[in-house]
């Protein structure tokens, strides 16, 4: 009886402490709020498995974008990310040419791969899921990625972004099914705070977004 009573008392307390710890962690990160440019230290890597052999691994060296980061109110955060399709590299010149051609990215006709976030949902004290629209080869498809804050200091913030997408959804059917439809993405993002983009800016942006949501609800 005593052990059951103890479990009933302790379990809710642990839940409350866990929730409180998560909130405290978010509050500790509040000074990071602001707008960040995606810096040159970013690594945009991908891989595609093969039914036989090592598959394909590569990365993109040309990219740009911004992160509006609000660690306390994650839903107010947003991301824009553009990748230069022709910057794809695998270390194998012949394969790079194939990937840039119309058999894959068709970089001449569609030079930019873009992602625009549409929603951010917190999944932990320093993690979130980001939903958005990815445009590749002229096709726009909703995608979701997982994001973790992996480091910060001064005016920098580092994130790890992981996820998968199906290449055939973008018309990239070459080599299928010998090469998997699934593309695994693994990004290390180097965020550099833009001058003047501090916590107050993020809060003002959040207030404007909240007002827009309320206006939309009234009109609905």
% the chain with pLDDT above 70? 76
Q: What is the mean pLDDT of residues 128-144?
A: 98
Q: Is pLDDT at 184 greater than 50 in this prediction?
A: yes
Residue 22 in domain: no
Q: What DSSP assignment string belongs to 86-97? A: GGEE-S-HHHHH
Residue 25 in domain: no
Does residue 20 sit within a domain?
no
Q: Give 14-55 pLDDT, tens digit per residue.
A: 444 444 444 435 558 899 999 999 999 999 999 999 999 899
Kind of pairing between the strands at 56-60 and 63-69: unpaired
Residue 16 has a CB neighbour count (10 Å cut-off) of 10
Confidence of residue 70 (pLDDT cuts 50, 70, 90): very high
pLDDT band at 107 (very low <50, low <70, confident <90, very high): very high
* Structural domain of 173: 33-194+202-214
Whether the Cβ atoms of residue 195 and residue 40 lie closer than 8 Å to each other: no
Residue 54 included in any domain? yes
Q: Please tell me the predicted confidence (pLDDT) of residue 195.
A: 82
8 within a domain of the structure (yes/no): no
Count CA atoms within 13 Å of residue 142 on its CB side.
4
Global confidence as pTM: 0.78
Give pLDDT, residue 218: 54
Evaluate whether residue 45 is within a structural domain.
yes
pLDDT at 21: 40
Residue 56 domain flag: yes
Determine the 3-state secondary structure of 19 from DSSP. Answer: helix
Q: What 3-state class would DSSP assign to 176?
A: coil
From the list 203, 145, 188, 149, the residue with the least C-alpha distance to 26 is 149
Closest Cα partner for 33 from 92, 3, 73? 73
Is residue 10 included in any domain, yes or no? no
Number of domains in the chain: 1
Whether residue 200 is predicted with pLDDT greater than 90 in this model: the reply is no
Q: What is the CATH number of the domain that holds 135?
A: 2.40.128.110
Strand partners, 141: 134
């Amino acid at each position: 009886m005593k052990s059951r009573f103890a479990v009933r008392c302790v379990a809710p307390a642990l839940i409350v402490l866990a929730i409180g710890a998560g909130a405290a962690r978010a509050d500790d990160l509040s000074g990071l709020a602001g707008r960040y440019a995606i810096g040159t230290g970013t690594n945009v890597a991908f891989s595609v498995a093969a039914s036989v052999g090592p598959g394909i691994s590569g990365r993109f060296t040309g990219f740009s974008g911004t992160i509006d980061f609000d660690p306390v109110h994650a839903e107010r955060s947003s991301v824009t990310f553009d990748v230069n399709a022709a910057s794809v590299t695998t270390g194998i010149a012949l394969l790079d040419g194939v990937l840039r051609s119309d058999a894959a990215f068709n970089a001449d006709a569609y030079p930019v791969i873009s992602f625009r976030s549409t929603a951010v949902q917190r999944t932990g004290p320093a993690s979130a899921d980001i939903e958005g629209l990815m445009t590749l080869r002229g096709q726009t498809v909703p995608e979701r990625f997982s994001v973790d804050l992996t480091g910060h200091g001064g005016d920098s913030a580092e994130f790890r972004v992981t996820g998968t997408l199906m290449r055939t959804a973008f018309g990239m059917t070459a080599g299928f099914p010998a090469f998997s439809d699934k593309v695994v993405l693994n990004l290390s993002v180097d965020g550099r705070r833009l001058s003047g983009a501090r916590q107050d800016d993020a809060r003002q942006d959040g207030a404007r977004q909240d007002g827009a949501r309320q206006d939309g609800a009234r009109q609905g």
